[in-house]
């Protein structure tokens, strides 16, 4: 849970490609991650928490950041996955499925 924000986009695609290569033909990878809203939505506590974590990642990691749904989907496709689906969401934490 919440490991993708530690890595740059390039590092994350490399990690996802390794996962892709390791799973069977119809396999999937399940992520549980904090997801930033696509547009400005500063009123909610969950969004403020996500934005604070994004700022922390910028300060404490080299290239790490919180990501939007669009960014997660792009990284999954760049790694070779054919399907991206959000299975559930609560307080900006999403369960996402990446399918081969």
Domains of the chain listed by start with CATH number: 4-99 (3.40.50.150)
pLDDT band (50, 70, 90) for residue 25: very high
pLDDT of residue 78: 98
What is the set of active-site residues? 5
Higher pLDDT residue, 59 or 38?
A: 38
Share the mean pLDDT of the chain: 84
Task: Tell me the pLDDT band of 41, cut-offs 50, 70 and 90.
Answer: low
DSSP assignment of 7-52 equals S-HHHHHHHHHHHHHHS-TT-EEEEEEEEE-SS---SSHHHHHHHH
pTM: 0.81
């Amino acid at each position: 849970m919440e490991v993708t924000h530690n890595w740059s986009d390039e590092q994350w695609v490399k990690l996802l490609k390794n996962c892709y290569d390791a799973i069977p033909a119809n396999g999937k990878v399940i992520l549980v991650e904090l997801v930033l809203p696509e547009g400005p939505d500063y009123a909610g506590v969950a969004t403020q928490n996500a934005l604070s974590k994004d700022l922390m990642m910028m300060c404490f990691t080299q290239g790490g950041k919180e990501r939007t749904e669009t960014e997660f989907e792009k990284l999954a496709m760049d790694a070779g996955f054919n399907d991206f689906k959000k299975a559930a969401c609560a307080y900006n934490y999403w369960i996402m499925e990446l399918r081969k």
